[in-house]
Amino acid sequence: MSPPLYNAEILRLATSIPYQERLPAPMATVEKRSPICGSRVTVDVDVDAAGRVSAVGLLVRACALGQASSALLGASVIGRTAEEIAASRDALTAWLARTGEAPDWPGIDIFGPALDYPARHASIRLAFEAAAEAAAAARLVRADG
């Protein structure tokens, strides 16, 4: 028997999303939406001169899995480059599809029970997809500025 999808740790994470205020003038903003359940995650990002995320703001209107994923993203995104976030996004996608290993992201293994629920994967990926795109866009803004 597999562990429950909505366990106590997922529900705890869902209530502990950091950076829940939008940035006043972000270098980039990306919103992602799951067509299956309607979950939405908006990520604002600023990057420093080295291209590392220096500030993030999150607006999360998602199910418990999307909220928990946003909490994990927010807890470890500061200081990462767009490439690092994109690599984690890609690894997360592959892992959920059972075609790769879990990404090297603190706490991500909490989503192990979701491997058997493909309809829930989009919600789990939202924050990582939005953050990867926002960080890449912010890096371009900095380079142009």
User: Quick one: which of 123, 48, 129 has its CA closest to 85?
Assistant: 129
Percent pLDDT > 90 in the chain is 87
Q: State the average pLDDT over residues 90-97.
A: 98
pLDDT at 134: 98
125-141 pLDDT, tens digit per residue, is: 999 999 999 999 999 98
Taking the model in full, what pTM does it have?
0.94
pLDDT at 2 over 80: no
pLDDT score at 142: 77
Tens of pLDDT along 52-92?
999 999 999 999 999 999 999 999 999 999 999 999 999 99
pLDDT in tens, 11-59: 999 999 999 999 999 999 999 999 888 899 999 999 999 999 999 999 9
Query: What is the rounded average pLDDT for all residues in the chain?
Result: 94
Amino acid identity at 30:
V
3-state secondary structure of 33: strand
pLDDT at 1 > cutoff 60: no
Strand ranges of the sheet holding 53-61, from the earlier edge strand across to the other edge: 28-33, 40-47, 53-61
- 48, two tokens: 């420093």
Q: Give me the residue label for tokens 């059972």.
A: 98
Residue written as tokens 């106590």? 8
Tens-digit pLDDT profile for residues 105-127: 999 999 999 999 999 999 999 99
